[in-house]
Amino acid sequence: MNKSEVPMTEKESLELIASMIRRAKEACHDTGVSAIMWGALIAFCSLEKLAELQFGFHLPFDIYLLTIVAVIPQIIIQRRENKLKKAKSWEDDFQQALWLSFGICIFILIFLLNVMLPVWFKSAEEYTAVTGKSFPFQLHEYTASLFLMLYGIPTFITGLTMKFRPMFWGGIICWCASVASMFTPIKADLALLALSAIVAWLIPGIILEKEYRKAKKQLSEQDV
Amino acid sequence: MFKDLDPILHSQLRLAVMSILISVKEAEFTFLREKTKSTAGNLSVQIQKLKDAGYIDVLKQFKDNYPQTICKVTKEGVTAFEKYVESLQTYLGK
């Protein structure tokens, strides 16, 4: 008898529905690769910058430029994942739009700071030259707070909507670190940036990757 | 009073396909075949029946020079599925 014509009881129908929904959901797991990459990269850049300040050396380029270079592997990862994905979940479009908006906001902020900071440094120098005092407001001391505030938004929303607690708490930690970094010196700000990247992205990414592998293994066992 | 079960949905493979499509935005034919463990021929026939009933949309396109069939549930499909589950619950509550 054809599989589609096998008679089913009401209970069997409900069991079939539940099992198919579960299978479909398990197949739409996030790989966590992007979260791992960005978490590791931001943590590395922040710690390298901290080491530069601590030990008084300078790289010939700004280490944060690596974040621009990392857009290329991100595009490759995204394209590969989209290609491998045979089903699109309802959350996929939302997640992509959310993280794309976040990326755009980060680059706008970088651009804004690159316009603002040289003007501010010049004004601060003129102020010191005229008054002999240091400028009372140190703009560069607050840049980490702005980045951490932005880091928290997509992380918190992803954690909340996907019911993924590590990212939910990661987002909250980013915001706590944002507030804390307003009152801490630059070296501590960089440590907070590294810590937030590890807690908000690297660790959740590793958890996601493990869950993805587990789900993949379970699915392949079911398909045997 | 028991409600009649929708004959289009009260079939193992068609119900399996609809249950998957309800959980995702869209799915490729190969994904449905893997998850339902059915043959391509049988699945094609059942997908066509669901399409004829207006429960799913089927989009045929090319991806990297390979033909690709994408299925997604329609509003009518969602309503029919909800009614079907409601009817099942009525039966099980008897």
Distance from CA of A71 to the nearest CA of B (A): 23
Residue of A2, A4, A80 for testing the chain B interface, max B β-carbons within 10 Å: A4
The closest alpha carbon to B19, from A86, A4, A215, A22, belongs to A22
The closest alpha carbon to A29, from A217, A223, A160, belongs to A217
> Is residue A84 predicted with pLDDT exceeding 90?
no
Complex ipTM above 0.95? no
Q: Which of B12, B13, B23 sits opposite A21 (nearest CB)?
A: B23
CB of A76 within 8 A of CB of A147?
no
Question: What mean pLDDT do residues A149-164 have?
Answer: 95
Cα–Cα distances in angstroms (integers) from residue B83 to residues A99, A159, A221, B30, in the given order: 37, 32, 33, 28
Task: Give B26's contacts in chain A (Cβ within 8 Å).
Answer: 87-88
> Is residue B64 predicted with pLDDT exceeding 80?
no
> Is residue B1 predicted with pLDDT exceeding 50?
no
pLDDT digits (tens, 9 = 90+) for A107-116: 999 999 888 8
What CATH number matches the domain at B12-87, 1.10.10.10, 3.30.70.270, 3.90.230.10, 1.10.645.10? Answer: 1.10.10.10
> Is residue B66 predicted with pLDDT exceeding 60?
yes
CB contact under 8 A, A86 and B12: no
CB of A63 within 8 A of CB of A48?
yes
CB of B71 within 8 A of CB of B57?
yes
Question: What mean pLDDT do residues A65-89 have?
Answer: 90
pLDDT of residue A1: 44
CB contact under 8 A, B37 and A223: yes
pLDDT digits (tens, 9 = 90+) for A142-151: 899 999 999 9
User: Could you tell me which chain A residue has the CA closest to the CA of B89?
Assistant: A10
> Is residue A135 predicted with pLDDT exceeding 90?
no
Contacts by A130-137 with C-beta closer than 8 Å and gap 24+? none
Q: Which of B10, B28, B42 sits opposite A8 (nearest CB)?
A: B10
Domain boundaries in chain A? 31-68+138-217
pLDDT digits (tens, 9 = 90+) for A166-218: 999 999 999 999 999 999 999 999 999 999 999 999 999 999 999 888 877 77
> Is residue B94 predicted with pLDDT exceeding 70?
no
User: Could you tell me which chain B residue has the CA closest to the CA of A28?
Assistant: B24
pLDDT of residue A75: 93
Q: What is the pTM of this model?
A: 0.81
Distance of CA A202 to the CA centre of its chain: 8
What is the DSSP code (8-state) at residue A3? Answer: G
Domain boundaries in chain B? 12-87
Task: Give A13's contacts in chain B (Cβ within 8 Å).
Answer: 5, 10, 15, 88
pLDDT digits (tens, 9 = 90+) for B27-62: 999 999 999 999 999 999 999 999 999 999 999 988
Look up residue B31 and give its amino acid: F
